[in-house]
Every structure is written in structure tokens, then in C-alpha cells.
Amino acid sequence: MISLTPKAGDKVKEIREAEGLGDQGLRVRIIGGGCSGFSYDLFFEDETTELDQTFESEGVQLHIDMMSLQYLEGTTIDYVEGLHGAGFKFVNPKAKSTCGCGSSFSA
Amino acid sequence: MRENPGSQTACQAAVDRAEGGSHNALVADTTERARWLATSAAVRSLNDAVLMVRGEDARSWLAGQITNDTHRMGPGDAVYALVLDARGKILADAWVVEGDELRLIVPRETEALLLEHFDKYIVMEDVELAPSDEAVVTVQGPRAAEAVEAAGFSGAPCDRLGAGGRDVIVPSGERDRALEALVRAAEAIGGGEVDEAAWELARLRAVRPRFGADFGPANYPQEAGLKRIAVSFDKGCYLGQEVVCTLENRGQLSRHLVRIESDVDLAAGLELRRDDKVVGQITSALRDPETAEVLALGYVKRASTAAGTSLDTDRGTCIVQGVVDVAPGHGDRRAL
């Protein structure tokens, strides 16, 4: 199970509306590479395959493939704004370590 | 007293003269062959492994695994890079070659480790990594391209010793035929086939560190003097990047690979001391048969890296010549 915080959910809906994407879901996946080994990837998509699981959180459909889910189980996606910038932040209990910018992790 | 030609002593003397003559011929041979690597074209069959990287996501995935920038590579290009672990330490060096397919040429002893390592980082990407039953014959030297083309090959611009070079990749079963053709072409322009002795002499003369001897899993790229030819500080994320960038921008290395010269015979593994404290270790060494000087590389603590620093070993004294900092050769295609 992965989930969005209320703030992240609001941000997703705000972007979705601004882009005219209707009720499109969010693809959440892991890709190999990045300073710590794996990187988080997030983009709007509604195409799914039999390898995907879909969760609903804060009114947004989250599509995750089974391989990425191994690394993402229990993850909460937040949205943070600060002096250093703004963006989606992954709070991942399976991450052993995370790079300084938070976009890459080791498992 | 004149020796009875049939006596045992006379025979031994004749053997000594013949062996001394053979030794001198061998030394001259090694020196000549090493010179081909700097002035003409020298051919050597390598034991390197070739890995194929296939799939729609091959290029973007590989970019996240290696230290150098490959996004501007096109057919016929080659880039030298390092594969690091998450701590920024070197797992292997590799030539990335863009030919009919994307290939990695890696030290044979790293093949199994790299396949296992890379496999961990293929999640759902359309990437397939597999060993290829191909052999690598390298031609190095300023006239390497000429020799390779005269033999009917194009090769990849892999400049291994800083004087220009091409790697020719062929199916394993065609290695001998390719080697013969390349050697003939090199001989026609004053070069030829080189052995390990000549290669090592040329390598140390050119101050080119070698994976497994001068750098490996205990080293950062900057320690080994490889950042200028193997690391891009302008590209996107790759495994180990944060450590490499932090070292570059904020950190200080505690040790460096340095050039060392000596009159005494040095050997890999020899401890280097200063004021009775161990400050480093030799990684490569040989005596240059032409100058009789000993050329060596070794890791030394930062405080002892200045040119002119005198260091002690169990065999005698040696002098640091400077920190190794490999510059792109005229054949390097690092900046595409």
C-alpha cells in the first residue's frame, strides 16, 4: 500500500486541473540509477497492465508495477515547500539511505 | 688460459654469452615494441569481456550507472567511464562503445560482478544485459587508425594509453584472423604486435593507471587521477555520484596516486615510509630498460605527495614525481 498525504493529494489535483488532465491517475515507479542506486519517478498516466496494482489515496488513483511495489511498500508521498525549493517527497520505510536531494535511495 | 672448446667451462661460457645475448635482444625487443605504442601502431589481443546492453531504455538506464556522459554518443563513438558502488568506490572501468549495438568492454575479472551488480538496478526498464561471445584486439599508437583501416576494420576510438588507439571487436572465433590482419597492417607502417612487457613499459612511461593494479574497489575516481578522462560533472545522476561530487566540491582526498622514480628495484605491495611512518604503498613498478630508471605508481598520503618528496622502502629510497592526473589524450572522446 502506498499513499499520498493530504497536501500531496491537493497538489496532484491542482497540477492535474492546470494541465487539463481530468481524473488521470498517477504512475509511481522506481527506476534503476541515481546517486544511491534507485530513483523515484512520478507522472500522470491511466494505462495499466496486469503487472500493476492500483491504490486510491486522497481521491487519486496510484498505479504501481509489481517490481516497483517491492521497493515502495508502505511509502507515503508528501509535498513539501521550503527555502530550498518545493516538490514531492517520498517517505519510504524500505529505503536504507537517501541521497541529499531525496530523489534517489538505496534498498 | 685458453679454454679447451670441449670443456665444461667453455660450454658454460658459451651458454652465458648466448643467454646474455638473448637477454639483451629481449630487452631491445621490449624497448622497441614499447616505442611502437608511442610512435606507430602496436597490436595486442586483450582478455577483456564484452557486455551487450540492449533494449528501448538501454541508453538512459546506462547513463544512470556510469560516471561519464554518453548522451551525445553516436555510431562509432567510444567513451571511457567508471562503474561505482553507492559509496563512490570503483567497481570497474569500462569502455562504452556505440556500434551496431551498445557494448561495454570491461576487465574480464569484473564480468560476473558487473552482471550481478547491474541486474540489481534493472527494475521495470526495457534493458537486457548479456555477455557477448566476442573478442577485443586493440591497436594503440598515433597511427592506430591507419593500421585498423588498412586491415579492413573501423574499430572504436578507445585511446588506452593517451597516444590514440582503436579497439576492434570481433566474434571470438575470428580473433586469430583479425589479430593476424592487424599485425600485418601495423608492421607495414613500422609497428607490430606487443606483449605484456612492452605494454606495461609503455603504460608506465605514459603514466596510465590500470584497473586491478593501480585502482579498484578501495579507490575513489579522484584518488586514482581519473576524473578528467572518466567523470562528467555536468551529467545527471549516476550511482555513487553524490560522494564523487561532494569530494570534488567540498572534500579533500586523504591519499593520491603518485608517480615515483627510483634507482632501486621497486615492486607492487612495497610499503612507502617517511620519517619511519608508513605513508603509502607501491601499486605498479618496473625498470625502464632504456634509461635504467625504475618507474612506479603508488598511493601516498596527501602530506607526502609533493614532487621531490623522498620516501623510504625496504629496498632503498625513491622520489615522488607528482600526483597522477590523467589528461585526455588526443584520441580520447570524453567530451563529445
B52-101 tens-digit pLDDT: 999 999 999 999 999 999 988 999 999 999 999 999 999 999 999 998 89
CB contact (8 A) between residue A32 and residue B122: yes
CA B274/CA B236 separation, integer angstroms: 41
Cell, residue A41: 519517478
pLDDT score of B15: 46
* Alpha-carbon distances, residue B239 vs A37, B62, B89, B171, B335 (angstroms): 5, 10, 10, 31, 20
B293 class by beta-carbon count within 10 Å (0-12 exposed, 13-18 middle, 19+ buried): exposed
Cell, residue B243: 560522494
pLDDT score of B28: 66
Which domains are assigned to chain B?
Answer: 42-205 (3.30.1360.120), 227-323 (2.40.30.110)
Looking at this protein, which amino acid is placed at residue A59? G
Give the model confidence (pLDDT) of A44-92 as tens digits.
998 999 999 999 999 999 999 999 999 999 999 999 988 777 899 999 9
CA B332/CA B336 separation, integer angstroms: 10
Residue B8 has pLDDT above 50, yes or no: no
- Please tell me the least confidently modeled range out of A26-35, B87-96, B274-283, B296-305: A26-35
Given pLDDT bands bounded at 50, 70 and 90, which one contains residue B16? very low
pLDDT score of B252: 86
Q: How many degrees, rounded to 5, is the angle at CA B202 between CA B197 and CA B206? A: 150
| ipTM, interface predicted TM-score of the complex | 0.81
Give the model confidence (pLDDT) of A11-55 as tens digits.
999 999 999 999 999 999 999 988 889 999 999 998 999 999 999
CB A21 within 8 A of CB A58: no
Dihedrals phi, psi of B258, to nearest 5 degrees? -125, 160
Given pLDDT bands bounded at 50, 70 and 90, which one contains residue B5? very low
- Topology of domain A3-106, per CATH? Hypothetical Protein Aq_1857; Chain: A; (2.60.300)
Tell me the domain boundaries of chain A: 3-106
CB contact (8 A) between residue A32 and residue B237: no
pLDDT score of B169: 98
Residue B150 has pLDDT above 70, yes or no: yes
CA B216/CA A107 separation, integer angstroms: 23
Best of B85, B239, B246 to disrupt the A interface (most A CBs within 10 Å) is B239
CB contact (8 A) between residue B124 and residue A29: yes
Given pLDDT bands bounded at 50, 70 and 90, which one contains residue B233? very high
Mean pLDDT of B244-257: 91
CB contact (8 A) between residue A33 and residue B86: no
Give the gap in angstroms from C-alpha A30 to the nearest C-alpha of chain B: 7
CB contact (8 A) between residue B239 and residue A68: no
pLDDT score of B18: 47
pLDDT score of B336: 34
CB contact (8 A) between residue A33 and residue B64: yes
Residue B2 has pLDDT above 50, yes or no: no
A95 class by beta-carbon count within 10 Å (0-12 exposed, 13-18 middle, 19+ buried): buried
A32 contacts in chain B (CB < 8 Å) = 61, 64-65, 120-123, 125, 127
Q: Which of A68, A71, A99 sits opposite B242 (nearest CB)?
A: A99
User: DSSP letter string over chain A?
Assistant: --EE-HHHHHHHHHHHHHTT-TT--EEEEEEE-STTSEEEEEEE-----TTEEEEEETTEEEEEEHHHHHHHTT-EEEEEEETTEEEEEEE-TT-SEE-TTSSEEE-
pLDDT score of B185: 97
Mean pLDDT of B157-170: 96
Instruction: Identify the sign of the CA torsion B304, B309, B315, B316.
Output: negative
